[in-house]
């Protein structure tokens, strides 16, 4: 029988090339941002606190691995995920890391030090209470992410606008905030502000990616 090992090795080399593209914390953060919405290089650099040149280099590496694609819009180049399965891959990677690495929990506690101080609400309870008009769901991500897709019934109040827009929140309701998912601090910061002003608050840990992969639809 002909030795097929070289062909098999080539297959694994292709798999390894994709894993290699993911093996960088900056590139993972860029993927995490692109899960929320397509963005230009400049927008990604600003959100990730990196230089435009460094951001561009990382995006080219992700593009070579066919994880992202780019589209020219006038003077700018906008990047987006190459496929919804890339977002699924990112979520699965996070889940495996959380299950297998105790350090993830410690790092998350350091990043979200107040995450255990606020009530959490499940998706099922949220849907039930929204149907009874008992809660106000606010999306505290940047507006560009809200416009790309958001939870049904959510109101866009970006975190940096929240303090100036408190009068828009209906009195007497539970205010539920969500952001980019369980590894995002925006909702915690929103709840900290709201609770200090006397609002009854809770956090939805899920973001748009988790919501979609649970089989729920987004609004755009």
Same fold, 5-89 and 111-213: no
Confidence of residue 172 (pLDDT cuts 50, 70, 90): confident
Instruction: Tell me how many degrees the CA angle 161-167-173 measures, rounded to the nearest 5.
Output: 105
CATH homologous superfamily of 111-213: Rhodanese-like domain (3.40.250.10)
- Phi first, then psi: give them for residue 181, nearest 5 degrees: 120, -170
Q: Where are the domains of the chain?
A: 5-89, 111-213
Angle, in degrees to the nearest 10, between helices 25-36 and 52-64: 80
pLDDT for position 182: 96
pLDDT at 2 over 70: no
Q: Which CATH code for domain 5-89?
A: 1.10.10.10
Q: Kindly report, residue by residue over 7-41, the tens digit of the pLDDT.
A: 889 999 999 999 999 999 999 999 999 999 999 99
List CB contacts of 180: < 8 A, sequence separation 6 or more.
32, 35, 36, 141, 145, 186, 207, 208
pLDDT for position 139: 98
Active-site option among 37, 179, 194, 202: 179
Confidence of residue 6 (pLDDT cuts 50, 70, 90): confident
Question: Helices (H) and strands (E) in the chain — how many of each?
Answer: 10, 7
Confidence of residue 5 (pLDDT cuts 50, 70, 90): confident
pLDDT for position 74: 86
Catalytic residue list contains 184: no
pLDDT for position 73: 85
C-alpha–C-alpha distance, residues 159 and 54, integer Å: 27
Q: Kindly report, residue by residue over 101-128, the tens digit of the pLDDT.
A: 999 999 999 999 999 999 999 999 999 9
Helix (H, G, I), strand (E, B) or coil at 91: helix
- Mean pLDDT (the chain) is 95
């Amino acid at each position: 029988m002909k030795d097929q090992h070289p062909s098999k090795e080539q297959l694994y080399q292709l798999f390894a090339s994709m894993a290699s593209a993911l093996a960088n914390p900056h590139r993972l953060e860029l993927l995490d941002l692109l899960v929320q919405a397509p963005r230009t290089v400049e927008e990604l650099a600003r959100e990730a606190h990196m230089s435009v040149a460094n951001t561009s280099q990382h995006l080219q590496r992700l593009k070579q691995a066919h994880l992202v694609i780019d589209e020219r819009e006038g003077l700018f180049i906008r990047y987006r995920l190459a496929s919804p399965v890339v977002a699924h891959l990112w979520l699965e990677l996070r889940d495996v890391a959380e299950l297998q690495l105790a350090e993830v929990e410690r790092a998350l506690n350091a990043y979200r030090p107040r995450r255990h101080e606020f009530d959490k609400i499940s998706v099922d309870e949220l849907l039930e209470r929204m149907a009874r008009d008992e809660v106000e769901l606010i999306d505290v991500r940047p507006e560009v992410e809200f416009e790309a897709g958001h939870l049904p019934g959510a109101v866009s109040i970006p975190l940096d606008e929240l303090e100036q827009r408190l009068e828009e929140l209906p009195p007497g309701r539970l205010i539920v905030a969500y952001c980019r998912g369980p590894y995002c601090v925006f909702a915690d910061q929103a709840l900290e502000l709201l609770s200090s002003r006397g609002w009854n608050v809770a956090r939805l840990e899920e973001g748009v990616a988790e919501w979609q992969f649970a089989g729920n639809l987004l609004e755009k």
